[in-house]
Chains A and B, each alone.
Chain A
């Protein structure tokens, strides 16, 4: 079963982290990637640019509107994701809790099942 682990980040929380914490997070992600790659559960991961770099194309029913900035005005944004393939939802939750974000107040991980896959490297 494929699951997408969405990393919900609050840029203010990330900015307030100490240099050590910040480095520990980077290393935590690296070790998570190594572990899930070795177990054959990792499919892919991507980290996204700052929300301020977002452009939104909004459907209007006619000519779409092109707006600078994100679709929804929220504090938290999707900062990146892990796409994994695991035996069960329980395993997906277990893995998600190994991601360093799970240990930081103000950050969150959302786990959603995947319904459809296509592309060169699914």
Chain B
């Protein structure tokens, strides 16, 4: 514990880097997965191939994906973000699509019958009703990004993985412990916060709160 107390500033800095990496990954993941999900909900035959490809990407071991990206993007955060965004796609797109296709068809029919255009249907009906599933996907993607993100330290993307790698190389158990604690804190905290949002969205969809 001494290491953590003596180097609290440094650990906090790495914690911040890790959090930032996760947020950047989530941002770009959502930027891709939300339109992609809408697309494959409307063009049904794309669902199989798209989810299949995302599934294959998800099975590539993280270290090898990072290394594969180095010739193209060099070292640093860029290849790390690209790899983590690719991983997150499966979790996000799958949940988002399930959320969208499980919206009650009668509700959609009513919305169309009342003269909502497709944008109004999306923003006023489909999005809010599919939001709990999307948030569940965001939670899974955040947790997996935090976990796999530690390995990104190997390609100079920074973050709490640095402590783990350094600790392993120098046989410094204090460092490993500090890194693990910090990653766990980040993961548990994110999980708690996103769980809370998910719950809020669920009760709103069920129409049980004000």
A binds B: no
Interface of A with B (CB < 8 Å)? Answer: none
